[in-house]
Amino acid sequence: MIKMLIFTVLIWIALYIIIKQNQDLITNNLYKYTTDISEKLKDMFIYSFWGISLNSRNIKIILSGSILILGCIGFIIPGKYSEIEIKYAIDRAISHNKKENYKIAYDILKEYTTINSPLIHHEFAVACMGMHKYDCAKTELKKTIKILPQYSKAHYNLSQVYAAINKPLESSFELTRAKETASLNISDQELYRISGCYRDKLTIRLIFVLFFISLAYFTPKFLLIFLKNRRLQKFDDQLADGLIMIANSLAGGLSLQESLEVVRKETLAPFNQEIGLVLSKLQADPDIEKAIKTLEERMPTLDTKIVVNSIIIQRKTGIDLVELFDNIANTIQERKRVQKKIKGMMASNQSQAKTLALLPVIMGISFNYLNPEIFSIMYTTIPGCLFLILMVLMNITGLYWMLQVSKVKV
């Protein structure tokens, strides 16, 4: 435990020195990155989350904390998987020793004998005894007793080894010790003692640390893309109704600016927010073309471009705005109806794609049920877990492309 603590402290000292030497570069890049995130959130009218103001300073604190926490998690996870892998190997060896498959138990445990686990040394010794390798068994049992002196089984098996190599005094002594310690309770944690193997899988630990730090750093970018696309979709869904409201207001005798004000008050976000920005632009500069071009820049959907270009053309040609907005709204609504119809027709293809993506999952569960000893390698060893992650990523990629192929743009 002390060694683990010292090792961890040394790692953090090394990281601190690296960060300190590159402090200006890291600080400048982080400031630009968090400021960019803050500005993009403001563009989407997102100013707070769970009562926390999403300014540049708070985003920097959240991002730094996420990087630190996920970096630590990335360092810990391979160690935990390593513990699971070792525990699984021990349990398999115990099972094979009980079935007198000593050679298999020996092969399983020989790569783990450097770990100071009483149970590893004891079961390895049992396998050696079954193979009549008494010198090896004696060495391993002595290691077991040195680590865990109150382990009765180790004393008993050592007495059997001494008896097999004609050392009756030593055998008698160990048998007496076995009887003395037989009533002592030993926890599983004391027996296995496989935690704290921080040096194991060190390369994989560093890979995981880099992966999780990258995940923490780039997640805000992907989140911004998701939020922006969701906002664009909401705006697009509101556009046809908004145009009909503008047309009705114009038909009632209001000007375009007054009609926009009515729509701003009557509609929901994000449509009312974007119309509000257009009105703010008009108050600062009465040029309608510049104001609505701002809308096109902020909401670059096909329907928005059609609306903006139509208004610009109307300003030059003088066609009826009410008829224009009605026609555009009807066109958008008709196109959406066609899209829904096509989605219904393509639903069977999409369901087939999802079924194909589920097949590997079902097969994996079935294999694990039919032969858990072999398939469990996939989730109890580091290579197995990496291979499983690769398969999942490939499966998701395949599903994505199958769904993309089944889409039809209108």
Q: What is the pLDDT of residues 76-122, one digit of tens each?
A: 877 777 777 788 888 889 999 998 899 999 998 988 888 888 999 99
The pLDDT assigned to 195 comes to 63
DSSP 115: S
Q: Which helix (H) or strand (E) holds 388?
A: helix 382-405
Sign of CA pseudo-dihedral 199, 200, 206, 212: negative
Distance, CA of 85 to CA of 97 (rounded, Å): 18
The pLDDT assigned to 198 comes to 53
Q: What is the pLDDT of residues 235-269, one digit of tens each?
A: 988 988 898 998 888 888 888 888 888 888 888 98
Compute and round to an integer the Cα radius of gyration of the chain. 35
Q: What is the pLDDT of residues 1-13, one digit of tens each?
A: 455 556 666 766 7
Nearest in space to 105 (alpha carbons), one of 86, 134, 128:
128
The model's confidence at residue 410, banded by pLDDT at 50, 70 and 90, is low
Burial 363-386 (b: 16+ CB within 10 A, else e): eeeeeeeeeeeebeebebbbebbe
Q: What is the pLDDT of residues 229-243, one digit of tens each?
A: 999 999 988 988 898
295 vs 369, which has greater pLDDT? 295
The pLDDT assigned to 204 comes to 75
Our CA dihedral for 297, 303, 307, 313, rounded to 10 degrees, sits at 90
Q: Which residues pair with 48 in a beta bridge?
A: 53
Place of tokens 């040195």: 146
Distance, CA of 105 to CA of 388 (rounded, Å): 26
Q: What is the pLDDT of residues 198-241, one digit of tens each?
A: 555 667 777 888 889 889 989 999 999 999 999 999 998 898 88
Q: Which residues pair with 53 in a beta bridge?
A: 48
Distance, CA of 222 to CA of 36 (rounded, Å): 13
Q: At CA 245, angle to CA 340 and CA 265, rounded to 5?
A: 110
The pLDDT assigned to 59 comes to 87
pTM above 0.75, yes or no: no
Overall average pLDDT of the 392-406 stretch: 84
Write down all domains in the chain, each with its CATH number in brackets.
Answer: 34-200 (1.25.40.10), 337-410 (no CATH)
Give the chain's mean pLDDT.
84
